[in-house]
Amino acid sequence: MTKLQSHRRPPRIGDAPVFRRTLLAVVLFFVAVIIVAPLAVIGVHAVSKGLPYFAAAIAEPDTRHAIMLTVLTALIAVPINTAFGIAAAWAITKHDFPGRRLLLILIEIPFSVSPIVAGVSYLFVYGLQGLFGPALEAADLKIMFALPGIVLASMFVTAPFVARELIPLMQAQGRDLEEAATSLGASGWRTFLTVTLPNIKWALLYGVVLCNSRVMGEFGAVSVVSGNIRGQTNTLPLHIELLYHDYDAVGAFAAASILATLAIITLVVKVVLERQGAGRRNRPASLAGNDSLSEVKP
């Protein structure tokens, strides 16, 4: 150890050992109660009657159907929202046009609107008492209380997820590379695929993971538009509610453990992708879906 290093820097505030230990203990206690315990209780209750019972609960036909419906919803909604997110990010960050700021706020709206309000709103578009209800009824098209309604409501709730990961990053990266590519004769698509995409792939993947996680877990909006028909329009979160209210705690927690596992995978992917430069390191609280869109100056 050199002499310079052995010099004691004045401790920063809050570094007094007693204070430090007390604050750490209090914070860790609350982390254990508020964050760790809710996660732990899912696992404990899911297997409280043994693993065979847990496996049987998941293999139960209505639960299996709910899983399939949730996966199907995500398979439709996530790619569409990904395409939308890329298009919005390309338009907003690679071009100048009037109203860009307004468009950013517009894309951000679903973050601010309660999922219940979203579900109710969709009912007034496609439901029987809604704008297109009578016309849809006449054409024998069922959107509400069926798969299309569930997909639409999920798309509303998660519309900003991919765009909000891409926009701050693409804004920061500027347009020079794309301008160079097009001036050398590359087409727009080729420029996007060979120049832009490699630079945004981690943020894009991160946005897709977040979007998928939210689609699979969405409850409020979907519960309004699905009609909760057991074995037909019950997604996994809705099925959990149903089992829970049927006093089938093990079944509910077994189903919940699938979504909790998905949540943990999402967190792990987040940590891994942040090391690749996506997410919070560039922008505070991106999972919170709060900031950064407002950073983009027109």
- Please say which residue, 68 or 131, places its beta carbon nearer to another protein: 131
Q: How far is the CB of 55 from another protein (least distance, A)?
A: 19
The distance between the two most distant Cα atoms of the chain, rounded to a whole number of Å, is 87
Q: Does the footprint of another protein cover residue 19 (CB under 8 A)?
A: yes
CA dihedral angle for residue 77, residue 75, residue 218, residue 231, rounded to 10 degrees: 120
Q: Which of residues 184-223 bind another protein (CB under 8 A)?
A: 187-188, 191-192, 213, 216-220, 223
- Please say which residue, 68 or 106, places its beta carbon nearer to another protein: 106
Cα–Cα distance list, 87 to 97, 157, 260, 285 (Å): 15, 18, 31, 23
Please choose, from the candidates 15, 202, 168, the residue with its C-alpha nearest in 3D space to the C-alpha of residue 93.
168
How far is Cα 38 from Cα 109, in angstroms, rounded to an integer?
29
Q: Does the footprint of another protein cover residue 227 (CB under 8 A)?
A: no
Q: Which of residues 36-95 bind another protein (CB under 8 A)?
A: 36-39, 41-42, 45, 83-84, 86-88, 90-92, 94-95
How far is Cα 193 from Cα 293, in angstroms, rounded to an integer?
24
Please choose, from the candidates 228, 101, 99, 210, the residue with its C-alpha nearest in 3D space to the C-alpha of residue 159.
210
| Residue 225: CA count within 13 A, CB half-sphere | 34
- Please say which residue, 114 or 194, places its beta carbon nearer to another protein: 114
Q: Does the footprint of another protein cover residue 113 (CB under 8 A)?
A: yes
Number of residues that bind another protein (CB under 8 A): 109
The CB-based long-range contact list for 52-55 (8 Å cut-off, 24+ gap) reads 53/250, 54/250, 54/254, 54/257
- Please say which residue, 24 or 141, places its beta carbon nearer to another protein: 24
Q: Where does this chain touch another protein (CB under 8 A) — which range of 57-65, 136-144, 200-208, 289-297?
A: 289-297
Q: How far is the CB of 116 from another protein (least distance, A)?
A: 4
Handedness of CA 263, 269, 275, 276 (dihedral sign): negative
Q: How far is the CB of 219 from another protein (least distance, A)?
A: 4
Q: Which of residues 128-157 bind another protein (CB under 8 A)?
A: 129-131, 152, 155-156
Q: Does the footprint of another protein cover residue 123 (CB under 8 A)?
A: yes
